[in-house]
Structure 1
């Protein structure tokens, strides 16, 4: 377990790099790349195997974990300075716009498809498909604004709680309310067939932000880890007692996946730090791995990927080998680019020493976020 006095989530120190969050991102990115590769390449008879079916069930936590960690990281990067949210708003906004640009770029079908379809609803549905990057980007932009406008610990806690709980609860209503909107907006807000619409997926982002905000009340290290485990277990028990609902607008499903995500974050905070450090480099380059692996697996702009060239024909071990090779190749490209840029932050150490918790309430009164 994490030694008393050390922490993977020292939320009072302003930093965009926390080893626990990077470890969780690394775990999620490995599951994502392997999941996409297996989905594209496994032969039908292998996919029917019971072990593979169990893996598909576990894969459901991957995208929620990304959004959960993204929201957690926004708050974790603030420290306790009252001015940090406003000072970092511009940087967060630029990051959000980059995510939106990359997310939409990944769905460009190529000029041949564009000419064949014409600028109609079908092409617009392809180009403006709202994926995980766009969902994180818009959530980041909204979250950055909320953290600037809502001042004070409890004011921000209430604002984040309203978003974390209200967005999933309002999802069914929102999907019905936007039926007459242009397809570009319906893809973003919620419609049948949408990938990661804001309703309910933004709920994961704000649940992570709320958790990080409240964890400032606890001493870094095992108290925060145990709190995450207890909160995650509590949400799972609650969802097990309620009727299950696996529909795309289900608030029950959001609560279930948030509970699983909190258990992952709590476990990462409690296990020896050496395990997190093994995955942290992948977590720090998660955007690279996301953007690079999708065209290779599924193709881009009319150029077929592995799914069209090899799949679905491979056995389990060959497909796993391709997935691990893809992770290594994408990480190597990311590492090379960082070396070319001379960015030392890519390999900078991010182990924090936890300081004493302030007992005069000053740390609780100061603003903290984004």
Structure 2
């Protein structure tokens, strides 16, 4: 068990990287890449096996866990005075996520010319995916943290968003019926994949959990609090009628409970379990961006779903998934090393040689050859 002071979620020391968060995010990355690969290449017979069916049920936590951890990380990275100072950086990050999310839906010029600027093309271009949902939630969350100054004011603001967004999903979907298609995709409509209503609720639930954990001592008290909160929410959802519809507030509460249990378990377990997954978590954005075109294709270039298709048994499909994960991580790691080298070169101070006295006079104190 993690001792107080060595916790994976020591929010008393603000940092954009917490090993526990990176470990949880890395676990979600593995589940995401394997899930997409299996979905693209598994044969119908392999899909029907009990193991795959069980995994398909557990896989539903992947995207909610990403959003939950994203909200948690925003608060975990802040000190009490740094919300305003970090807003510009958060806004740029949000815009990057929006750009990448829409860029991944580019169908290629041939498709654009074939479809024309109609509903079908706009539905493809402006499909609202995970990155866009995180980007908008990040932008709104950063603004809330700037405007809500006090501890309890922030807690009330985050709680209001975490509860109101899922509960208001049906109303917002109906209200957006007459809006432009691009806004309908973002707010919520039949067929939209990760609309803000209710998916932003996961982000603000994670932000609220991180904010409240500041009130507890680091270490096992925080881990037990996460487990207790997740278990209590899970028991509550078990007592309510299940609703698996895309606008379901019950489903959001159910997935949030699972995500809190995952975070609590990561916090209580020794770091030897989460440390191997942390590098994958730190590269999660680029693993997401790199693997999707390979699996599903991009800009008219077919991916594994078309080139291989649903033909593989379970073990070969897992081999393809782990191989793709390793390849994408190697590319992301190489890019990180290149960017790090460029930054060090740009930040290195210009070196100038100091003149060395040649007339035999004594060197002044502190002067070196």
TM-score (norm 2): 0.92
2:17 is equivalent to residue 26 of structure 1: no
In the aligned structure 2, how far is the partner of 1:52 from the partner of 1:46?
Answer: 7
Find the counterpart in structure 2 of residue 282 from structure 1.
Answer: 280
Find the counterpart in structure 1 of residue 292 from structure 2.
Answer: 294
Residues 70, 344 of structure 1: alpha-carbon distance in 2 compared, 3 angstrom cutoff = farther
Q: How does 1:189-204 map to 2 (within 5 A)?
A: 189-204=187-202
In the aligned structure 2, how far is the partner of 1:72 from the partner of 1:342?
Answer: 26
2:29 is equivalent to residue 52 of structure 1: no
In the aligned structure 1, how far is the partner of 2:274 from the partner of 2:235?
Answer: 27
Residues 333, 250 of structure 1: alpha-carbon distance in 2 compared, 3 angstrom cutoff = same
Give a deviation string over 1:131-175, Cα, whole Å, max 9, x none. 000000000000000000011000000000000000000001110
In the aligned structure 1, how far is the partner of 2:216 from the partner of 2:4?
Answer: 13
Find the counterpart in structure 2 of residue 73 from structure 1.
Answer: 73
Kindly state the Cα deviation for residue 14 of structure 1 after the two structures are TM-superposed: 2.0
Paired residues in the alignment total 343
Which of 232, 235, 244 matches 1:237?
Answer: 235
2:339 is equivalent to residue 341 of structure 1: yes
Kindly state the Cα deviation for residue 343 of structure 1 after the two structures are TM-superposed: 6.1
2:43–2:310 CA contact under 8 A, matched in 1: yes
1:12–1:78 CA contact under 8 A, matched in 2: no
2:4–2:217 CA contact under 8 A, matched in 1: no
Q: How does 1:92-131 map to 2 (within 5 A)?
A: 92-131=90-129
Find the counterpart in structure 2 of residue 40 from structure 1.
Answer: 40
Which of 205, 208, 211 matches 2:206?
Answer: 208
Which of 254, 257, 280 matches 1:256?
Answer: 254
Which of 129, 134, 145 matches 1:147?
Answer: 145
Kindly state the Cα deviation for residue 3 of structure 1 after the two structures are TM-superposed: 2.1
Kindly state the Cα deviation for residue 338 of structure 1 after the two structures are TM-superposed: 1.2
1:64–1:258 CA contact under 8 A, matched in 2: yes
Kindly state the Cα deviation for residue 51 of structure 1 after the two structures are TM-superposed: 1.3
In the aligned structure 2, how far is the partner of 1:49 from the partner of 1:227?
Answer: 37
Find the counterpart in structure 2 of residue 319 from structure 1.
Answer: 317
Find the counterpart in structure 1 of residue 12 from structure 2.
Answer: 12
2:250 is equivalent to residue 247 of structure 1: no
Find the counterpart in structure 1 of residue 158 from structure 2.
Answer: 160
Larger radius of gyration: 2
In the aligned structure 2, how far is the partner of 1:18 from the partner of 1:158?
Answer: 25
Partner-residue secondary structure (3-state), 1:86: coil
Quick one: higher RCO (CA 8 Å, sep 6+), 1 or 2? 1
Structure 2, gaps ≥5 residues long: 344-369
Partner-residue secondary structure (3-state), 1:108: coil
In the aligned structure 2, how far is the partner of 1:39 from the partner of 1:236?
Answer: 28
Partner-residue secondary structure (3-state), 1:85: coil
In the aligned structure 1, how far is the partner of 2:213 from the partner of 2:35?
Answer: 31
In the aligned structure 2, how far is the partner of 1:198 from the partner of 1:204?
Answer: 10
Structure 1, gaps ≥5 residues long: 346-370
In the aligned structure 2, how far is the partner of 1:344 from the partner of 1:36?
Answer: 33
Partner-residue secondary structure (3-state), 2:107: coil
Partner-residue secondary structure (3-state), 1:212: helix
Segments ≥4 residues shifted beyond 4 Å = none
In the aligned structure 2, how far is the partner of 1:323 from the partner of 1:85?
Answer: 39
Find the counterpart in structure 1 of residue 2 from structure 2.
Answer: 2
In the aligned structure 2, how far is the partner of 1:269 from the partner of 1:140?
Answer: 24
In the aligned structure 2, how far is the partner of 1:344 from the partner of 1:265?
Answer: 35
In the aligned structure 2, how far is the partner of 1:85 from the partner of 1:189?
Answer: 26
